[in-house]
Structure 1
Amino acid sequence: MIAASETLSAAFMGALLQALGTGAKALLYTGTRPAPGEAAAGAAVGQVLFADVPGTVTAGALVLAPGPVAVALANAAPTWARVMSGADAWLFDCDARMGAAADAGQELVIGSTAALQAGVSIQILSGQFSALP
């Protein structure tokens, strides 16, 4: 991760907010995150959608808004997410966790349970991205 001034981080997060656009989503995976943009080792265990207005830039950070409800694809606890734009272009990968899991600085928080359950509703609970130190 880079460490930038609040002004530069805010500009970067504003550009990220624009790049997400309407229809952005995060594909949720378990296991080790691959190199940036490389194929995931297994199938996605869930997919969550970003809100039409994904969030706001506050004090140099992009603070996510809760997203619409989606459905979990498997029984698992995601460890990372692949974020795709509304145009289905890869934007970035980030760490993810379930809401009841320990907070170790993961950028994306899904629901309030400890793990996904296939067929059960899920959504983005919270998240924050920044280039601040």
Structure 2
Amino acid sequence: MRQQYTSAELIAKLVEMAKEVMEDTRRGEKFEPPLDWRELAFYDAVADHGTARSVMGDEVLASIARELVAEVRSKLKPDWIAREPVRARLRSAIKRLLPPQLPAGPGSRGHQLGPEADGALRQ
């Protein structure tokens, strides 16, 4: 059954959603230097990997995210999504950056980045 909202309720929900979006966009500002949205997507992907956040700390993970974005940008080609060799080089570069710095957590998926990072790459 659909729930119907009054105009006032709908506006209140939209204002609440706008506040959540603004808070989310400002999360990168807590780092020095601040993380942009691409770096923040990689940070989220790396920080959610097992025990990485508790073992390494936020600043180290932010540094890894910056390195990942720089590496991806240096290897990115305009048609990278369509070409498997380009995607393979990107995966290889990411794997080279992660192993020495990222601890494996229980039930971890290895060094696979989640949809947040993939979305940052596609932009």
The answer to whether TM tops 0.5 is no
Q: TM-score, normalised by structure 1?
A: 0.25
Name the structure where strand makes up a greater proportion of residues: 1
Point out the structure with max Rg over C-alpha: 2
More helix by share: 2
